[in-house]
Amino acid sequence: IMRIRRFFKRAVSEELVPPAVFEGLRTDGFSDEELALVHAPIGLPINSRTPEEIAVSIAAEIIRVKNEDGSIT
């Protein structure tokens, strides 16, 4: 797993990421601070149905986060 300052866990469903996923990431060496940066499910809630709409939803969330705190370059 490549460590980066901020990352998006790709979970394109309406369900939250299962706790076991976070435990696996902790086992891989990710800190609780890093895991707090995970956005799940990813994407803005725009009732996306097609792959293109899902892509727009994800891109919109990335832009929102970037513009809120400037941490994604």
Regions in the chain scoring below 70 on pLDDT: 1-17, 70-73
The per-residue pLDDT for 2 is: 47
**The two structure tokens encoding residue 73:** 């370059």
Q: What is the pLDDT of residue 59?
A: 93
Helix ranges (H only) for the chain are 19-27, 32-35, 51-69
8 Å CB contact between 49 and 56: no
pTM, two decimal places:
0.58
The whole-number pLDDT of residue 56 equals: 94
Q: How many residues does the chain have?
A: 73
* Residue keyed to tokens 């706790």: 19
Q: What are phi and psi of 9, to 5 degrees?
A: -80, 120
DSSP conformational letter for 18? P
